Structure 1
Amino acid sequence: MPKITKALVAALEPPDSGDETTWDSAIAGFGVRVWAGGAKTYILKYRNKDGRVRKLTIGRVGTLTLDEARDEAAKALGAVAKGEDPAAEKQAHRKAETVEQLVELYAVEGLFVQRGIRQGEPMKPLTAAYTVARLRHHVVPLLGKMKAKAVNPGDIERFVKDVTNGKTARDEKIKVETEPTKRVIVRGGDGAARKVVRDLSAVFSFAKRRGIVDKNPVEDAAVRKTDNKRQRFLSLKEIQLLGAAFEELEAGGTNSKALDICRLWALTGARRNEIAGLKWNEVDLSSGFLRFEDTKTGKSLRPLGTAARALLAARYASRDKEKPWVFPAERNGEGFYGGTKRIWPIVTKKAKLPGVTPHTLRHSLGSVAASSGEALLIVGSLLGHANARSTQIYAHIDRDPSQRAADKVGNAIAAALAGKGAAEVIPLNASNG
């Protein structure tokens, strides 16, 4: 087995039929493959972590120099040593020609957080599941057959318009072997379009990093990716309506688990499944904290108010000691209670609060805290924000401390500008009580 040199590569003659490979003595598995038609390619043969022999085509002789091919072979062997499979990855990239194939590749290899303190970490399972579902329900039906490289900003704009107009909306039952019939509800509309176009932008950014496409067409499309409107907050009067609805429904026999979950959304500002999926080992009643091991932003410590502690204490007294969940499922004996999806619309209808979601309650707690004079740092602590930027949406609230300070200072200056003197200050002492 010779060491492959430039002269040897140039001297290799094509076989009468098929192909022949000359292997290198310096790099194990590295070789030059010569085809009957005269074409020559650099290749690498290796075993993957499953023990299967794989062949990776590095590049054509003439397109790559021998030294460049050796460097690529060394990199590939380094990847193999880490448990990767370069040939399989290259094959997957070749298969990702259509948008549908690209979506499926992204579902396997691309579900990572794109920004923030968790950038580069895998998405949370539920976030990943929702992301893939949106892509499969909206993107695949409308763009799936297109070549990924051919998609342009105009295609993205038409896609967003179609989703907004409900072209991908459906409500149907699907029967899967060995599984119960599933009801699939896909809603279109403006909100769905904004979410899925953000997902699609992440898919094309992933494809660009992998060299599958040259550019991300979403970036140049004239589409709206954010709400561009103020967050919805409930006033205290609206919260009173919500509380009255809870009481009326509970008196009528509505499941108390669902209503207590809803109450805790309002009392803690926690995210939907942080409460629905709460476990007793995350509840510290003695010190008054929720100690989440894993949330959207990682580990999180949230303070509990008296009302929330009292609700949880009552639940603890009657808990099922065999189950870890604060609100265990009532059927199948596994997991946490999931009935709030059915009951929440009934609550909002009863309270006459259309469009209010569980996440609205999270924003409402932040609003009440900020309007009560709490510093934004404290508001962020209540909500479990990982960075101050997430809490800035509450900075505009009319009772924010900085705004009250501006009122006080501004009034003094306005009085001076108007020629009015400052109010007389009378010091207190023992003689005047």
Structure 2
Amino acid sequence: MTALSLRRIAEEALADIAIRSPARLALGPERETCWGKELPGFGIRSYASGRSLYVVQARMGGRTRTITLCSTALISRRQALDVARRILLRAQVDEDPADARKRTRANPPFDSFLALFWERISPKWKPSTLVTNDQYRRLYLNGAFGRKGVDKITQADVAQWFASAAERGGQGGANRVMSILKAAFNKAEDWGMRPANSNPCSGIRLYPQMRFARFLREEELARLGVALQSEAMDSPLHVAAIALLLLTGCRLSEIGGLLWSEVVGRRLKLTDSKTGPRTVWLGEEAARLLQSVSQSGRAEVFWNERTGKPICIRSFWYDFRRRHGFEGLRIHDLRHSFASHGAAMSETLPMIGKLLGHANIQSTARYAHLDDCDLINIAEIIGNCLERLVA
């Protein structure tokens, strides 16, 4: 083929393009997409040839992608919408790797988050709560999840940690520290460090609460009184503190940390208790007991001059109960006895709850119960009454 022939073919081709171009321009663009209003990202793409396809546009893998479903001739628009919804839902669930990397860099490891949580939240706690929670943090929370990011901790991670905490510190302690951890993860959601409703503590059942089943009956109380009198000469402060626990129904921390400034006449004006500031009313015997305690010039009522710090009631109690045959009797059972004897004397639960400083009636109901003998006696009284009525 000569050079002249090649030139002629090229000229004819250019002439043909010039002839056909106006017609192509008149047809408009090669394709056009019409996006539907019922579902963002769903549309129909039409071509100049007359062919039309269903398409879905979604962000995947860090960029926007368009997925072709099929020809509009094969399925109805409603069927195409169903398929498109599933694809868009899947795109929302699948994480964009780029976003994941950004979030991993932004979200701190658990220990750093815990420090931030403590810094922001602990100033709102009562002083006694702060002391307790600091101890739980040191024993169970610091290093609990290694360097794992706060947003990467799963329910399985928490379940494993919870079981380990129960083995080390008992089920009751594990339950209490779980409440701290759950509150921390709730804040992680509020602060944008975890997705909403993703708290890994949710759904993990706490260990069953221990039921208080023991209180001192009259003969046991008499024996306890004799035992305390036998120790009064050697340990007057410890004996006075234990007697005060029994006479007031106070918690160990409330009596162990009692200040002289909180003793106001026949009342204890406690500035810090489990439920916040509260008043404890003193009976005549309890008031006389406090008056017998010598003041050492310290702010604390039960101050040990020899050791230079408050007395340790719990340590004394462990030795005391062993010496006098009260094995298994806890200090908290003295509070329980106070409530139960109040119930036996027909005091109402609201009244007993007021004396104990309970925030709700359910707490009081756990303590104030009668034993089998009391129930049998009451059942017999009711039965005799009914028998007289139907006779």
The answer on whether the counterparts of 1:279 and 1:325 sit within 8 Å (CA) in structure 2 is: yes
The answer on whether the counterparts of 2:336 and 2:368 sit within 8 Å (CA) in structure 1 is: no
The answer on whether the counterparts of 1:371 and 1:399 sit within 8 Å (CA) in structure 2 is: no
> Any idea what the Cα deviations from partners look like across 1:92-130, whole Å, max 9, x if unmatched?
x97762222222222211238xxxxxxxxx221121121
C-alpha change, 1:410 and 1:344, in structure 2 (3 Å) is same
What residue in structure 2 maps to residue 195 of structure 1?
A: 176
The answer on whether the counterparts of 2:339 and 2:368 sit within 8 Å (CA) in structure 1 is: no
C-alpha change, 1:299 and 1:131, in structure 2 (3 Å) is closer
Q: How far apart, in 1, do the equivalents of 2:188 and 2:223 lie? A: 48
What residue in structure 2 maps to residue 160 of structure 1?
A: 162
What residue in structure 2 maps to residue 271 of structure 1?
A: 251
> Any idea what the Cα deviations from partners look like across 1:201-246, whole Å, max 9, x if unmatched?
222222222222232111122x324515345433334434433432
TM-score, normalisation: structure 1: 0.58
Q: How far apart, in 2, do the equivalents of 1:400 and 1:213 lie? A: 55
Q: How far apart, in 1, do the equivalents of 2:295 and 2:142 lie? A: 45
Gaps of 5+ in 2: 1-103
Higher radius of gyration, 1 or 2: 2
Gaps of 5+ in 1: 1-92, 113-121, 167-187, 422-433
Displacement of 1:411 after TM fit?
5.0
Structure 1 vs Structure 2: percent identity of aligned residues? 29
Question: Structure 2 matches for 1:97-246, cutoff 5 A?
Answer: 97-111=108-122, 122-166=124-168, 188-214=169-195, 215-221=198-204, 223-227=205-209, 229-230=211-212, 232-246=214-228
Displacement of 1:332 after TM fit?
7.8
C-alpha change, 1:244 and 1:194, in structure 2 (3 Å) is farther
What residue in structure 2 maps to residue 258 of structure 1?
A: 238
What residue in structure 1 maps to residue 263 of structure 2?
A: 283
Displacement of 1:391 after TM fit?
1.7
Instruction: Looking at secondary structure, tell me which structure has more helix per residue.
Output: 2
Helix, strand or coil for the counterpart of 2:122?
coil
Q: How far apart, in 1, do the equivalents of 2:207 and 2:188 lie? A: 19
Displacement of 1:379 after TM fit?
0.9
Displacement of 1:264 after TM fit?
0.8
Query: Structure 1 stretch 124-133 or stretch 296-305: which is displaced more?
Result: 296-305
Displacement of 1:380 after TM fit?
1.6
Q: How far apart, in 2, do the equivalents of 1:94 and 1:262 lie? A: 55
Displacement of 1:370 after TM fit?
0.9
What residue in structure 2 maps to residue 247 of structure 1?
A: 229
C-alpha change, 1:158 and 1:308, in structure 2 (3 Å) is same
Write the letter of the residue equivalent to 1:298: G
The answer on whether the counterparts of 1:261 and 1:275 sit within 8 Å (CA) in structure 2 is: yes
The answer on whether the counterparts of 2:122 and 2:130 sit within 8 Å (CA) in structure 1 is: yes
Displacement of 1:409 after TM fit?
5.3
Q: How far apart, in 2, do the equivalents of 1:393 and 1:249 lie? A: 32
What residue in structure 2 maps to residue 80 of structure 1?
A: none
Matched, 1:354 2:365: no
The answer on whether the counterparts of 1:97 and 1:147 sit within 8 Å (CA) in structure 2 is: yes
Write the letter of the residue equivalent to 1:259: V
Displacement of 1:138 after TM fit?
1.4
What residue in structure 1 maps to residue 350 of structure 2?
A: 377
Displacement of 1:143 after TM fit?
2.0
C-alpha change, 1:301 and 1:110, in structure 2 (3 Å) is same
Query: Structure 1 stretch 196-205 or stretch 391-400: which is displaced more?
Result: 391-400
Displacement of 1:384 after TM fit?
2.1
C-alpha change, 1:139 and 1:280, in structure 2 (3 Å) is closer
C-alpha change, 1:162 and 1:398, in structure 2 (3 Å) is closer
Q: How far apart, in 2, do the equivalents of 1:294 and 1:233 lie? A: 26
Helix, strand or coil for the counterpart of 2:303?
coil
Q: How far apart, in 2, do the equivalents of 1:397 and 1:341 lie? A: 27
Q: How far apart, in 2, do the equivalents of 1:312 and 1:95 lie? A: 57
C-alpha change, 1:96 and 1:128, in structure 2 (3 Å) is farther
Q: How far apart, in 2, do the equivalents of 1:275 and 1:156 lie? A: 36
Picking from 287, 307, 323, the partner of 2:298 is: 323
Helix, strand or coil for the counterpart of 1:291?
strand
Q: How far apart, in 2, do the equivalents of 1:104 and 1:331 lie? A: 38
Aligned alpha-carbon RMSD (Å): 3.3
What residue in structure 2 maps to residue 71 of structure 1?
A: none
C-alpha change, 1:199 and 1:234, in structure 2 (3 Å) is farther
How many residues matched?
286
What residue in structure 1 maps to residue 48 of structure 2?
A: none
C-alpha change, 1:276 and 1:230, in structure 2 (3 Å) is closer
The answer on whether the counterparts of 2:211 and 2:366 sit within 8 Å (CA) in structure 1 is: no
The answer on whether the counterparts of 1:300 and 1:384 sit within 8 Å (CA) in structure 2 is: yes
Question: Structure 2 matches for 1:53-132, cutoff 5 A?
Answer: 97-111=108-122, 122-132=124-134
C-alpha change, 1:269 and 1:400, in structure 2 (3 Å) is farther
C-alpha change, 1:126 and 1:235, in structure 2 (3 Å) is same
The answer on whether the counterparts of 1:99 and 1:147 sit within 8 Å (CA) in structure 2 is: yes
The answer on whether the counterparts of 2:171 and 2:207 sit within 8 Å (CA) in structure 1 is: no
